[in-house]
Each structure stands twice: as C-alpha cells, then as structure tokens.
C-alpha cells in the first residue's frame, strides 16, 4: 500500500478524544475527524512533506494538537456527572472545583445526585467538556454521542469503552490492605463485595495475590447492596451470618466499599462476634461520617479523591484546548489506612513478639533503636530479629522504618508541614536522612511525592 493510501486509511479511522472508533452516533460522524486530520491528509495526499519529521507514527499523531474545540474567548462549560451523596463523590468534586478556581474560570454544572441515581445530560446540552463516573455502558454510549472531551474518573473498566481515565490505583489499594493486616499478625483473610461485577472480582484477585498463603485460601462473600427494608436484604443477611459463623478465626476481612463493611460489622455485633479480636474489618473507601457511626468505628482506606478530581480537570482542560489523549489511564495510589476500632489490634499469639511490636508502634516516631526494643521485652536482639523475620518477613529495623515512611506519606499528603517538620514528626530527625531513606523506598523525593498526591 502506498504512503498516501496509508495516510488516507489512517485518517479515516481517527476519532476525537473520548470517542470510540465503533461509535454508533451516526448523526455526529461529520464531526468525528478533526481539522488536524483533514489538514494532515490534504498535505500528505498532495505530496507536502510534514515539517520536522520523515515518519509520523500513530502515537506521535495522537499526541499532536487538535484545533481548539471552543472559541478562544469562550469560558468552558463543564458538566460533572458524579454523585454528591458519598464522601468519595464530594471529595472528588472538591478537587475539580479547586482546579477550576485556580486555573479557570469555568462555568460548571453539578447537580445533587445519589449514588444509584441515573446520570444523564439534557437533550439540548451544548457544553464543552464532561467529567463523569462512567460505570455503565449506557452512560458511556450517551457521552460518546456528545462528541466533546470526556474524562472518566471511575476505576471501573468497561470493555470497549475508550475514555481518558483518572482513578484510584486498586492494585495499590489491595497491597495497602494486605500490608495493614499482615503487620497486625493476621494469617487468615477474606473478601466481601459484589463479586458479580468483573472489576470487583479483579480487586478481590489483587488482594488474594498479596495475601497468598499455602493451605489458607482467600474466603469470599458475594455482597449485593440492598435496601434494609427489602426481603433480599434479609436473605443476604442470613447468608452472611452463616458465612461468618463458619469462618475460622481470627480473620481479617477486606470489603469493597463502605456499605458492605457496615453490614458486616452489624452482623458481627448481632452474632456476638468480637471485632477486631475475632474479625477485623477494613473498608475499601473512607467516609468519615459513616465510619464513626459504626460499632466499633470502621477502619478504611483513604483514597486520593481530591487529587483524582484535580487531575481529571487538568486533563479535561488539555483536551478542550485541542490536545489528544495518549491512551494511558492515570492511576493514583491511595494515601493511607485510617485506623479505627475495627482493625486496631495485634493478632499475635507469641507474647514476646506481641510486646515488641506494641513497643515499636508506641515509640516508632521517637529516637528508637532495635536494642531498646529488645530490652523492653526483654530478649536478645538476635532472637528478636529471628522472630520478626519468621513472622513478618522483615527485621525489627525494617518495621520501624516502614512505620516512619508511612507516617511521612501521611503528613506529606494531608498537611502543609515543612519537610523539616515532617522529618522531626516521623522520627527521622533530619530532612536529609529522611529524604535519603524515603527516595530509596519510593523512588520519589518527599516534595515530588507531595505534588503527586495532593491537588495543587
């Protein structure tokens, strides 16, 4: 095939950002090849050399600049299709608003919505861009027909749906949950969530991979969110009661979301299962209000919602200004586990090891040495190190350093403390030493980590 024919064939397949090549929106087809593509084809077919390049790859072209989608002086009209009833939704919207206030102005449309409320645009909508939590193919198809830049902030991957995406790194979430449980001495694990959904099954698989233990497979319960007034909810509760009663304990349970965690804790209380001594419960998403209302208060993973919103808005601005998507989703790691009563325990049978771990947790952010830990038990340092490696796969010094690194991450992500004060508050003493250890552990400087995990 000649170069000209290849160019024409390639250009005819081009679609604007956020649109699938298999779009069924026939009425929008005339707009689906941007001005850049027409210019590229016209020059190539006419034999005009593209300045500065002898070969233009698909990746190069998709990173090129399209003609702006709006008039230069027009204030962008942006619609946000995200629920406002959850802490996740509100925090994400706050990140979008922060970007608009700092880099706008934008005219934004945000309507109060429940998590289960349908997301739709008015038929006469004529905006410039959309940020949406796209969790259904129906919504994806509707947005695809609008022929405007769309950024997806859902971690849900729908087959065949190609929108630029900014979301939580769920692999990192599973790793954080596994580490949280392992450092508390748990050796049995379970997962609760709507396992009929492919993306939840994948999340459970990520957690299982990180908690793999011979002869102790991950126990799983398929949870469906139901109204407490429904008969289905009562039947599910009965199944959950039976499942919990049959689990060998102590056991650590990681839940997909807040709703599953709440029901799990409620069933434990009704069945007189002691939390966290017999069953430790960790939610995959943090909602301060709900977490404080459970008995005991619910531990949860703090996801980078404001950062997701900020980065999604930043990406949308690039696309509305004529940029092309590079096809790579942006995944942002969770910030930390917010430890509350539902996991605040050490499930360690060895009394000496229990005492050592407790002493480390109580003193890790001061001038703590391994010798001090050994004397507090008391036991020989070498014996202590052997027990740590056998139980946790790392030394007491590594455990002290792990806690300090986690503290640094938390302070960098959630406060404006100077690097010097962060070093002092986390037990590293000097910012130079902290930076050296932190960079070795994360491949990032503290300042770079802060910029990646906070909306700026």
> What pLDDT digit, counting tens, does each position of 235-254 carry?
999 999 999 999 999 999 99
Euclidean distance between CA atoms 172 and 401, whole angstroms? 19
- The answer on pLDDT for 12 being more than 50 is no
- The answer on pLDDT for 6 being more than 70 is no
Element housing 282 (H / E): strand 279-283
Euclidean distance between CA atoms 408 and 105, whole angstroms? 34
Q: What does the buried/exposed string (b/e) look like for 127-157 if buried means 16 or more CB atoms within 10 Å of the residue's CB?
A: bbbbbbbbbeeebbebbbbbbbbbbbbbbbe
CB 315 within 8 A of CB 326: no
pLDDT bracket for residue 217 (50, 70, 90): confident
The CATH number of 170-304 is which of 3.40.50.2300, 1.10.357.10, 3.40.50.1000, 2.60.40.420? 3.40.50.2300
pLDDT of amino acid 225: 75
pLDDT of amino acid 25: 57
Euclidean distance between CA atoms 219 and 225, whole angstroms? 19
pLDDT of amino acid 410: 86
- The answer on pLDDT for 20 being more than 80 is no
pLDDT of amino acid 24: 46
Beta-carbon contacts of 327 under 8 Å, excluding residues fewer than 6 positions away, are 62, 162
Euclidean distance between CA atoms 88 and 82, whole angstroms? 9
pLDDT bracket for residue 229 (50, 70, 90): low
Q: What does the buried/exposed string (b/e) look like for 199-217 if buried means 16 or more CB atoms within 10 Å of the residue's CB?
A: bbbbbbebbbebbeeeeee
**Residue 446, number of CB atoms within 10 A of its CB:** 20
Q: What is the pLDDT of residues 84-133, one digit of tens each?
A: 988 999 999 999 999 999 998 999 999 888 877 888 888 889 899 999 99
Omega prior to 378 cis, within 30 of 0: yes
**Residue 49, number of CB atoms within 10 A of its CB:** 9
Average predicted confidence (pLDDT) for the chain: 83
Beta-carbon contacts of 454 under 8 Å, excluding residues fewer than 6 positions away, are 306, 307, 412, 413
Locate the domains of the chain by residue range: 3-62, 170-304, 351-453
- The answer on pLDDT for 31 being more than 80 is no
Residue carrying the six token digits 């000209």: 4
Q: Is 221 helix (H, G, I), strand (E, B) or coil?
A: strand
pTM: 0.76
* Mean pLDDT in residue range 135-139: 87
- The answer on pLDDT for 181 being more than 50 is yes
Instruction: Please report, rounded to a whole number, the percentage of residues in the chain having pLDDT higher than 70.
Output: 82
pLDDT of amino acid 58: 33
Beta-carbon contacts of 203 under 8 Å, excluding residues fewer than 6 positions away, are 170, 173, 174, 193, 256, 284
CA atoms within 13 A on the CB side of 205: 7
- The answer on pLDDT for 27 being more than 50 is no
Q: What is the pLDDT of residues 414-424, one digit of tens each?
A: 888 999 999 99
Q: What is the pLDDT of residues 49-81, one digit of tens each?
A: 333 333 333 333 333 334 345 566 789 999 999
pLDDT bracket for residue 324 (50, 70, 90): confident
Q: What is the sign of the dihedral through the CA atoms of 204, 165, 129 and 18?
A: negative
Euclidean distance between CA atoms 397 and 374, whole angstroms? 11
* Mean pLDDT in residue range 191-215: 88
pLDDT of amino acid 210: 92
Query: Token digits for 6?
Result: 């290849």
Q: Please state at what angle helix 396-414 crosses helix 431-442, rounded to 10 degrees.
A: 100
* Mean pLDDT in residue range 425-445: 93
- The answer on pLDDT for 10 being more than 90 is no
| DSSP code, position 70 | S
Euclidean distance between CA atoms 18 and 15, whole angstroms? 8
Tell me the fold of 351-453. Answer: Arc Repressor Mutant, subunit A (1.10.10)
**Concatenated DSSP letters of 351-403:** HHHHHHHHHHHHHTTSS--HHHHHHHTT--HHHHHHHHHHHHSS-HHHHHHHH
């Amino acid at each position: 095939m000649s170069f000209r024919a290849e160019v024409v064939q390639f250009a005819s397949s081009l679609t604007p950002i956020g649109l699938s090549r298999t779009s069924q929106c026939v009425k929008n087809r005339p707009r689906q090849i941007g001005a850049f593509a027409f210019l590229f084809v016209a020059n190539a077919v006419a034999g005009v050399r593209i300045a500065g390049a002898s070969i233009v790859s698909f990746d190069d072209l998709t990173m090129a600049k399209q003609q702006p989608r709006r008039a230069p002086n027009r204030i962008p009209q942006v619609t946000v299709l995200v629920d406002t009833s959850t802490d996740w939704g509100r925090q994400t919207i706050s990140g979008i608003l922060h970007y608009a206030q700092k880099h706008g102005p934008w005219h934004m449309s945000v309507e109060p919505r429940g998590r289960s409320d349908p997301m739709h645009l008015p038929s006469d909508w004529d905006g410039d861009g959309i940020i949406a939590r796209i969790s259904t193919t129906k919504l994806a198809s509707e947005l695809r027909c609008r022929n405007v830049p769309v950024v997806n902030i859902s971690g849900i991957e729908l087959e065949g749906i190609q929108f630029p995406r900014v979301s939580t790194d769920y692999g990192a979430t599973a790793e954080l949950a596994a580490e949280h449980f392992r450092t508390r001495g748990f050796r049995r694990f379970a997962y609760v969530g709507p396992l009929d959904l492919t993306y939840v099954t994948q999340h459970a698989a990520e957690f299982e991979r990180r908690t793999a233990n011979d002869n102790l497979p991950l126990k799983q319960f398929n949870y469906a969110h139901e109204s407490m007034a429904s008969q289905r909810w009562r039947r599910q509760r009965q199944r959950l009661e039976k499942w919990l009663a049959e689990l060998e304990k102590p056991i650590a349970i990681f839940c997909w979301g807040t709703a599953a965690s709440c029901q799990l804790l409620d069933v434990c209380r009704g069945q007189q299962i002691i939390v966290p001594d017999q069953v430790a419960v960790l939610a995959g998403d943090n909602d301060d209000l709900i977490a404080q209302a459970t008995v005991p208060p619910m531990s949860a993973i703090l996801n980078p919602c404001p950062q997701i919103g900020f980065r999604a808005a930043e990406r949308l601005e690039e696309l509305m200004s004529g940029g092309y998507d590079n096809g790579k989703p942006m995944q942002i790691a969770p910030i930390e586990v917010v430890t509350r009563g539902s996991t605040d325990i050490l499930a360690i049978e060895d009394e000496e090891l229990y005492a050592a771990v407790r002493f480390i947790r109580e003193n890790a952010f001061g001038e703590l040495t391994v010798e001090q830990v050994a004397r507090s038990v008391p036991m020989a340092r070498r014996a202590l190190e052997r027990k740590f490696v056998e139980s946790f796969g790392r030394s007491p010094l590594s455990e002290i350093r792990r806690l300090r690194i986690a503290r640094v991450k938390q302070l960098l992500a959630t406060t404006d403390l100077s690097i010097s004060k962060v070093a002092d508050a986390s037990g590293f003493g000097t910012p130079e030493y902290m930076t050296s250890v932190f960079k070795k552990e994360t491949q990032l400087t503290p300042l770079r980590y802060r910029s990646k995990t906070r909306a700026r």
